[in-house]
Amino acid sequence: MTHRDAPDFYLTAADREEERDKNLVTASRIFVALSRSKSGTLAVKEALGEVFPWARHLSASERSDFAEEMVAALSDAAELTIDGNAREVIAGWRATARIKADKSQHVVALAPTEGDFGPVEAIA
């Protein structure tokens, strides 16, 4: 249903939602298990490159960090029902890739700064 002054919501059967949660937990645990081996870690990093094409602008070390943070955030979503973390991880790494993709912005970002630059407006 759509509400004028509140987020939209939908009704679903409890058993269906429980099944969806169990599937998320299973998928998350597979990623965690994969990330424990060298070949699994490589597979997860390669998969992230397919899912998030902008990750090509990250260094190999940054892609590893992104994969590690993403697996942890998905685990938190599945095991602890903390859903916002994965979105934040993606947004943060995407912003890094965006800066690195634009060479002129990247040079400016690497330059030393001093002082307070005041409030920052978020770009969607």
Stretches in the chain below the pLDDT threshold 70: 1, 124
pTM for this model (two decimals)? 0.76
Q: At CA 15, angle to CA 78 and CA 5, rounded to 5?
A: 75
**DSSP H helices in the chain:** 14-34, 38-51, 60-80, 84-101, 103-110
In Å, the largest CA–CA distance within the chain is 56
pLDDT one-digit tens code per residue, 37-65? 999 999 999 999 999 999 999 999 999 99
pLDDT for position 1: 66
